[in-house]
Amino acid sequence: MSLLLNLNHISIEVSDLAASSRFYSEVLGLREIENKTGFSFVRWFGIGDTHAIHLIGGQGTEQTAPKATHFALTTDDLEGAMSRLTDAGVPFGDYAGQAGKVGVRGDGARSIYFQDPDHHWIEIVDAGTLR
């Protein structure tokens, strides 16, 4: 019998909890949800109806992880997401690193990559191109 697993949340350590919280709420437009841990150094942001990103205040990352180490979000409005990033001064590009370019993955999905304030790589995928 196979085990059925679903994603619940992603936790990432950040060096400046307030700055990262602003990035995830204002730049990415994620809504803050109740932090049920009770710890003041933790903030939760909802993704869709049942998923979340947990930001954990601490040391953060001192160096950039490879782009292959990332998490991906989907949107029905990739152009709108790119506009939000541009307006916030956040550079983005395709996986190859071409600034401002949209990539096309092997499965045909269009996507972009960028980094949060602690250099975590994030991919945004055009939901309309997923197969």
**Superfamily for domain range 9-57:** 2,3-Dihydroxybiphenyl 1,2-Dioxygenase, domain 1 (3.10.180.10)
The answer to whether 93 and 67 have CB atoms below 8 angstroms apart is no
Rounded to an integer, the average pLDDT of 109-127 is 95
Q: Which fold has domain 70-129?
A: 3.30.720
* pLDDT of res. 62: 66
For the chain, residues classed under CATH 3.30.720.110 are: 70-129
Each residue's pLDDT tens digit, 43-98: 999 998 899 999 999 876 666 788 989 999 999 999 999 999 999 999 999 999 99
* pLDDT of res. 66: 87
pLDDT at 29 over 70: yes
For the chain, residues classed under CATH 3.10.180.10 are: 9-57
* pLDDT of res. 81: 96
Q: Would you tell me how many other CB atoms lie within 10 Å of the CB of residue 60?
A: 19
